[in-house]
């Protein structure tokens, strides 16, 4: 019976993969199907009352709208507004002034800048904005989505100002710095591997590393060393932010040493001229995103505490053991990104008409993505409250026994695949990983970190991530193609993570 419940519990996820890969449905339609399947199974198999099923779906819907959708809309709005004001042309010129080599540009934009956006804002911004920037430089849309999805994998374990790791630590009463250090340690080989894979994809194979192997290696190493140190001595909050900034600085310094190769040169039709003032204005929205998010984070406790009062806590689910959901109306990334975009736009000369036009275009562009977010989060909440998630986890632990560490990253990846969030994966499965650690007498920090490790692979493959990426480059309807291209890398990561998880469990 437990096996049947395990298979039925996986049904919404199996359907999602089948609809995307075999039937080649767009993500939003496949996600609606998963939601409907979860509703039917929750009511008929797990006997969750209809009213409880409805309120579980409502909780997921509201969580999708605030803060996730608002952040994604804000991120794309920021990019499109910068495009309209000409600020993005200046940024492109600055980046290409360091190098016109496609491989180096992918490292600078998708890896370094994308990592920075994940560390500061998260919630899809690290895919949407860098992918859009690459397309505007002439890169193929699907290629841009692919390299940004790979780049976004490892930083997601820490996410926006460390929220996934901090939430997981608080949930399980673990020490922040110890969990952050262990997570960064496990991610190390994958942080170094990611830029290598990205450059190989850009150069159509291992030959693409010729002439850029030193900068590619250093781009990863310069990211991971600060991340480990910050994680151990400060905590999760700034691990990715500092890592990405150091990586960006090192990559820029080494960019000039890369010899020009005509096979990888980007043709820049018009080079926007810029001086210090123009450059500062062009980067102003992103600088303000950094400043606002940093000053309002828990690192600045007085400000964070003051803004925390502008929030509403609700219990939406009507069944047993409901979560209390808190909606922060001011101190949430989407609000600060919107404010940064507005101020930056004004500084760049935008008029009210520009704001209205860009906002309207953004909503039109992102409407299918919003449907996907709502469907997936509603499905995830129904699966969690009904017991479907517990059935999946219980069968996995009971069946695998001492070999469970092999599968622990897959559990973390599954949580992110379904919800699109490293935080939600930790909330769904963190207690399962901790329980397995106690049962198998394995270091809880190692086992719980394996959940965050799996998040890196799950994020690449998540339908939410795919939808955000494709929407940002206006490539709707290419979901199946993108899934087929990113799937091998996600599976490669999961296999390597399984080996690392099992070997490490014998040591710790």
- Give the per-residue SS3 of 249-277: HHHHHHHCCCCCCHHHECCCCCCCCCCHH
> What tens digit of pLDDT does each residue of 211-241 get?
999 999 999 999 999 999 999 887 887 899 8
Q: Which of 145-159, 180-194, 242-256, 357-371 has the lowest mean pLDDT?
A: 357-371
CA distance 229 to 195: 20
Asked if the bond preceding 67 is cis, omega within 30° of 0, the reply is yes
Helices 141-153 and 444-461: angle between axes, nearest 10 degrees:
170
DSSP per residue over 3-35, as a string? HHHHHHHHHHHHHHHHHHHTS---HHHHHHHHH
Q: Looking at beta carbons, which pairs linking 39-45 to residues 24 or more positions away fall under 8 Å?
A: 39/382, 41/8, 41/9, 41/11, 41/12, 41/386, 41/388, 42/382, 42/383, 42/385, 42/386, 42/388, 45/5, 45/8
> What tens digit of pLDDT does each residue of 292-314 get?
877 887 778 899 889 989 999 99
SS3 for 474? coil
pLDDT exceeds cutoff 70 at 256 = yes
Cα-trace Rg, the chain: 22
DSSP classification of residue 101: B
DSSP per residue over 106-121, as a string? HIIIIIIIHHHHHHHT
- Nearest Cα to Cα of residue 34 among 20, 55, 49, 51: 20
CA distance 19 to 264: 36
DSSP classification of residue 173: T
DSSP classification of residue 46: S
CA distance 365 to 435: 43
End-to-end alpha carbon distance in the chain: 34
> What tens digit of pLDDT does each residue of 420-466 get?
778 778 877 887 888 788 888 899 999 999 999 999 999 999 887 88
Rounded average pLDDT over 177-199:
96
Write down how long the chain is. Answer: 508
pLDDT of residue 273: 67
CA distance 81 to 60: 30
Question: Which has more confidence, 187 or 375?
Answer: 187
The mean predicted confidence, pLDDT, of the chain is: 88
Q: 437 vs 106, 302, 394, 411, CA distance in Å?
A: 39, 37, 14, 14
> What tens digit of pLDDT does each residue of 405-422 get?
999 999 999 888 877 778
Sign of CA dihedral 155, 110, 354, 347: positive
pLDDT exceeds cutoff 60 at 200 = yes
Name the band, by pLDDT with cuts 50, 70 and 90, for residue 270: low
> What tens digit of pLDDT does each residue of 458-496 get?
999 988 788 888 988 888 778 889 999 999 999 999 999
**pLDDT more than 70, % of the chain:** 98
CA distance 109 to 213: 17
> What tens digit of pLDDT does each residue of 103-141 get?
999 999 999 989 988 887 676 778 988 898 899 888 999
pLDDT exceeds cutoff 70 at 268 = no
pLDDT of residue 138: 86
- Count CA atoms within 13 Å of residue 394 on its CB side: 12
Model-level pTM? Answer: 0.78
- Nearest Cα to Cα of residue 25 among 363, 362, 375, 421: 375
pLDDT of residue 501: 95
- Nearest Cα to Cα of residue 197 among 205, 189, 186: 205
Q: Which of 64-73, 279-288, 354-363 has the lowest mean pLDDT?
A: 64-73
Rounded average pLDDT over 310-320:
93
Name the band, by pLDDT with cuts 50, 70 and 90, for residue 346: very high
- Tokens at residue 115, please? 């990592």
Cα angle 378, 380, 383 (rounded to 5 degrees) comes to 110
Count of beta carbons in the 10 Å neighbourhood of residue 217: 15
Phi–psi pair at 404, nearest 5 degrees: -55, -40
- Where does residue 283 rank: exposed (0-12), middle (13-18), buried (19+ CB within 10 A)? middle
- Nearest Cα to Cα of residue 115 among 143, 146, 152, 75: 152
- Tokens at residue 407, please? 């599968």
Sign of CA dihedral 128, 308, 426, 225: positive
pLDDT exceeds cutoff 80 at 195 = yes
CA distance 54 to 167: 26
Residues 6+ apart with CB under 8 A from 276: none
Residue 122 region by backbone torsions, left for phi larger than 0, else alpha for psi between -120 and 50, else beta: left
> What tens digit of pLDDT does each residue of 356-405 get?
999 999 898 888 878 887 888 898 889 889 988 888 878 888 888 889 99
- Tokens at residue 340, please? 């940064």
> What tens digit of pLDDT does each residue of 18-31 get?
887 778 788 788 88
């Amino acid at each position: 019976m437990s096996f049947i419940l395990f298979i039925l519990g996986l049904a919404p996820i199996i359907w999602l993969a089948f609809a995307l890969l075999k039937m080649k449905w767009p993500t939003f339609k496949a996600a609606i199907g998963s939601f409907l399947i979860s509703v039917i199974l929750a009511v008929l198999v797990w006997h969750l009352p209809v009213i409880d099923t409805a309120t579980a779906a409502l909780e997921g819907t509201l969580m999708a709208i605030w803060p996730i959708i608002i952040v994604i809309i804000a991120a794309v709005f920021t990019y499109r507004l910068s495009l309209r004001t000409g600020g993005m042309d200046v940024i492109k010129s600055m980046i290409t002034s360091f190098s016109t080599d496609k491989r180096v540009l992918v490292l600078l934009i998708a890896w370094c800048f994308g990592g920075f956006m994940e560390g500061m804002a998260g919630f899809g911004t690290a895919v949407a904005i860098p992918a859009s920037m690459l397309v505007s430089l002439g890169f193929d849309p699907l290629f841009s989505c692919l390299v940004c999805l790979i780049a976004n994998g490892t930083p997601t374990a820490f996410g926006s100002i460390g929220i996934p790791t901090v939430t997981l630590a608080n949930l399980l009463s673990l020490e922040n710095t110890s969990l952050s250090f262990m997570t960064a340690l496990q991610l190390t080989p994958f942080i170094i591997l990611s830029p290598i894979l990205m450059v190989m994809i850009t150069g159509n194979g291992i030959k693409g590393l010729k002439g850029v192997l030193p900068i590619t290696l250093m781009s990863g190493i310069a990211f991971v060393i600060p991340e480990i140190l910050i994680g151990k001595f400060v905590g999760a909050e700034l691990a990715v932010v500092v890592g990405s900034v150091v990586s960006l600085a090192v990559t820029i310094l080494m960019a000039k040493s890369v010899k020009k190769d005509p096979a990888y040169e980007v043709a820049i039709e018009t080079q926007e001229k810029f001086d210090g003032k123009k450059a500062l204005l062009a980067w102003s929205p992103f600088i303000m995103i950094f400043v606002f998010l940093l000053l309002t984070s828990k690192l600045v406790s007085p400000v964070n505490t003051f803004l925390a009062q502008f929030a509403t806590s609700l219990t939406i689910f009507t069944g047993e053991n409901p979560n209390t959901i808190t909606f922060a109306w001011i101190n949430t990334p989407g609000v600060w990104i919107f404010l940064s975009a507005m101020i930056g736009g004004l500084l760049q000369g935008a008029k009210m008409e520009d704001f209205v036009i860009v906002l309207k275009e953004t909503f039109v562009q992102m409407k299918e993505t919003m449907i996907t977010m709502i469907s997936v989060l509603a499905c995830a909440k129904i699966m969690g409250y009904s017991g479907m998630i517990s059935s999946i986890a219980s069968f996995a632990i009971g069946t695998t026994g001492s070999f469970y560490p092999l599968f622990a990253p897959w559990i973390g990846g599954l949580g992110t695949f379904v919800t699109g969030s490293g935080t939600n994966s930790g909330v769904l499965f963190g207690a399962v990983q901790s329980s397995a650690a106690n049962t198998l007498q394995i270091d809880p920090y190692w086992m719980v970190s394996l959940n965050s490790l799996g998040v890196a692979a799950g994020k690449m493959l998540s339908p939410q991530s795919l939808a955000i990426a494709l929407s940002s480059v206006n490539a709707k309807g290419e979901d199946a193609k993108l899934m087929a291209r990113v799937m091998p890398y996600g599976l490669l990561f999961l296999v390597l993570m399984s080996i690392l998880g099992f070997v490490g469990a014998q040591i710790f």
